[in-house]
Amino acid sequence: MKEKRKPGFGAAMLPILVMAFVLGIGFGKFRLSVEVLLLVCSFFTVLLGLFYGTTWNEIADAVSEKIGKSFMAIFIFVFVGMIIGTWMLSGTIPMLIYYGLKLLNPQLFLISAFVITVIVSVCTGTSFGSVGTVGLALIGVAQGLGVNLPAAAGAIISGAYFGDKMSPLSDTTNLAPVAAGTTLFEHIRHMFYTTVPAALVCLVVYFIAGRTGMVVSSVDASAANEMTEGLASIYHFNVFLLIPLVVVLVGSAMGKPTIPVMFTASVLAGVLAIVFQGATVAKVISAAYSGFSLSMLGIDPETVTGSIKTLVERGGMTSMMATVLKVLCAFLFAGAMSAAGFMNAILEKLKTFVHSDGTLILVTVISVLIIALIVGNAYIPILMGGELFSESFKERNLAPQNLSRTLEDAGTCSIPLVPWSAGGAYMSGTLGVSTFAYAPWAIFCYAGFCFAVLWGFTGFGIKKLNKDK
């Protein structure tokens, strides 16, 4: 049996550099499958680990351990798909979007764009879906008015990533607490310390920008009106459709288990779809499994505008399988890094810069940002950040919520600022504004980790570890 050797910092960084090259060329240039590229990087890491004396059984055990600890969070992804499909069928999400569009204020376009996308993204848990639907409508209105497009795009993206970070329906919101070792609702509650100040900064900057003449005095909201009229013609809106949302919000506030809360909200949405939208039990089950389609309500998709069709036709358990696959591939990489000692080698180097709670959070933010810049993906920075720093946070008597919050602040929200990432490419291509142009206006995407570092040095919003618990 080959003797196991301790890798140095250079060897430990080699898998990350290989990943940067493989993903940068494979996905960035040729748009190859991220999952396959992740497996290529993972098996390179496995081979390097074997070279240093790590056995395949050790790597397999490390991967199994990580998947085992994360199984319930991975299962939550399936319920996220279920809840989106049933809420679309019931009209819960479309009604929230409908009234969100009604909030459009002609005098405060940037603030309105931010608030509307916040509402939509919190309800849907997806930045891509929010930008691809109401974001498109808002950027079209901005273009017709002559509003500064980079500013409009930045406000839209900021609002979209508010929900991607805070919504219990978001995949990264479920992944970060797993990586750090805390629970979903504890994680969400603790994120308010950095999320609320970041949102307030956005509102102040967008208000000042609007008052200085960036937004014209009147708005031709034809695109928004077309969407609201289309939604009203499809669904029968009423206050009872808010019941599933109330269940999720109350369950979140009370710290109830995530899966039972989501399943209850899905069942209630199915009942509401039958009562108010004329759906059948079979259609409710179909929406939960494969996602909602307009034909379930007896509507010909060809008669509906493309933006509305894109808005509502999604969800379902099967829609989350790609996300689950990415996470599993990332776990193989993280497990190999951990079993071979590469994580420890990197951690030992980084820990030399940690002398206080503030420097620990600062080093965590910098490390996660570097990984995000390299791989252009939110999952790997969150997983690797949790792997690298969970023990360091415990050693400094810091609750894991501090780490999970920092992983979201730096890992999730920085992705649309990376031009070669999937998020950056999607936002730029969808809104028609380059990443470098909208980046200064996407204030929410970097204000969060700035506040995380600030609170780390001041001690505000830092939760200490409850050793008895």
**pLDDT at residue 80, as a whole number:** 79
Per-residue pLDDT, 217: 52
Residue 78 banded pLDDT, cuts 50, 70, 90: confident
Taking the C-alpha atoms of residue 286 and residue 404, their distance in angstroms, rounded to an integer, is 34
Q: What is the pLDDT of residue 240?
A: 96
pLDDT of residue 183: 87
Q: Quick one: tokens of 412?
A: 């999730």
CA 323, CA 162: separation in Å to the nearest integer? 20
pLDDT tops 60 at residue 1 = no
SS3 content of the chain, % helix, strand, coil (to 5): 80, 0, 20
The C-alpha atoms of residue 255 and residue 102 are separated, in whole angstroms, by 32
Q: What are the Cα distances from residue 295, in Å, to 38, 52, 129, 267, 344?
A: 37, 57, 20, 21, 53
What mean pLDDT do residues 196-223 have? 80
How far are the Cα atoms of 103, 141, 220, 253, 324 from residue 225, in angstroms, in the given order?
11, 11, 9, 34, 37
| Token output for 406 | 């920092």
Q: Closest Cα partner for 108 from 29, 217, 15, 182?
A: 217
How much is the pLDDT for 105?
Answer: 65
Cα–Cα distance for residue pair 360/357, rounded to 1 Å: 5
| Mean pLDDT (the chain, rounded) | 86
Lowest mean pLDDT among 22-31, 358-367, 441-450: 22-31
Chain-centroid distance of CA 318 in Å reads 18
Measuring CA to CA, which residue among 468, 440, 358, 467 is closest to residue 402?
Answer: 358
Q: Write the pLDDT tens digit of every residue in 145-201.
A: 667 889 999 999 999 999 889 988 788 888 899 889 888 889 999 999 999 999 999
Question: Regarding predicted confidence, which is higher, 225 or 11?
Answer: 11
Residue 144 in this model has a pLDDT that exceeds 60? no
Q: Which residues contact 139 (CB under 8 A, 6 or more apart)?
A: 149, 152, 153, 156, 431, 432, 433
Q: Report pLDDT for 197.
A: 97
Q: Looking at residues 6-15, what average pLDDT do you find?
A: 93
> Poorest-confidence range of 88-92, 231-235, 320-324?
320-324
Buried/exposed 273-306: b ≥16 CB within 10 Å, e otherwise: bbebbebeeebbebbbbebbbbebbeeeeeebee
Structure-token pair, residue 214: 């960036």
One-letter amino acid at 120 equals V
